[in-house]
Structure 1
Amino acid sequence: MLDIAVIEDPAAAEASLDPIRSAMLRELAQPASATQLAIRVGLPRQKVNYHLKALERHGLVELVEERRKGNVTERVLQASAASYLISPSALASVSPDPRRFADRFSAFWMLALAGRMVQEVGKLIAGAAAARQKLATFAIDGEVTFRSAAERAAFAEELGVAVSHLVDKYHDAGAATRGRRHRLVVALHPALKTSDQTTTRKEQDND
């Protein structure tokens, strides 16, 4: 089972978004037969079998083992991944293209970059899994609080300069045939407000 699987096929994406099937995928984090799953989700086994066949057809669940019980063979299935992401390629005709924006201050460009990352890294994970190789990636996730919009702008400017210096230092333009090209994306956006923060802000406004 993969930690995360990226869904690229539109039909598979549609199958995963069905409420009943998404609930079944969640339950199949642990292997189960159709009979066991029917009890977990509260549906008739015949209906569960119908949905399982669709999920298996799209590679969203996989056979773990077959158990012989008298004259019946019981199939035990498991979700192919613990979590799923739908790639923009599932909506290829309307997926965002980063080349259309190319504005580092555009939230839409950030979304387009994020979409491309999901699509590309998903394919890389699938390729690495097929080749039984480890995929070399690196990511940083953190939060920073700015006292003002001016400080946020200054931070963004310094960050851009620092990243440019690192790229100039390590990029080898002549290594195209012998080196491996990597994609670098740096993003900065406001953090979503939690309910506690929203309540505190309202209390401050009322003081």
Structure 2
Amino acid sequence: MLNDIQDSYYIESPEQATMLLNPLRGEIIAQLMEPASAAEVARQLGESAQRINYHLKALEKAGLVQKVGTRQVRNLVEVLFRSIAKTFVLAESLSMKPETVQRLKDQGSLAHLITTSERIKRDAMLLMEQSDANEVIPSASLALHVNLADEQQRQAFVEEYTAMVQQLVSRYTGTPNEDSTYQVLLAVYPKPKE
């Protein structure tokens, strides 16, 4: 029987932490909030199915994604995978020095920020092509600045921010179909020095 996807999963092993810090693997997991095949994920990320399949096997071995079924596509059987959780949190109990854990958290977040920004750019270009074909493409974006004085305030902000967004998305999530699915990508990061 298929287990429900967890809201959060605490990463307590260095192996799992390393897996998540690979930007492509992090992006693969982000695509697997719903069951999908290697071919589907590859199309979403603009990668080869073979490359995605290789990373899926590594993620499955590390216990971060799970096989959830199969389906027949023409004369092939595709294996469906899904992430074990919606969000992953690096546990303080990782057998690493605290400064190493913090560095991993920071680097992982920055790597994910880069991957997310590339994804937004790629998706926007595809949508621009559709709008050139006289198709109306509804979209929205928001840019704000917030001053967060210290680590404690930053952590509290991120926790509340995440909870509010998850609650909002849950409130508006209905039965999925191709025409009604919108992507919500949000980021919080320090203003770069210029």
Q: TM-score range by the shorter chain?
A: 0.3 to 0.5
Q: TM-score, normalised by structure 2?
A: 0.47
- Which one scores higher on RCO, CA 8 angstroms, separation ≥ 6? 2
Higher helix share: 1
Alignment TM-score, normalising by the size of structure 1: 0.44
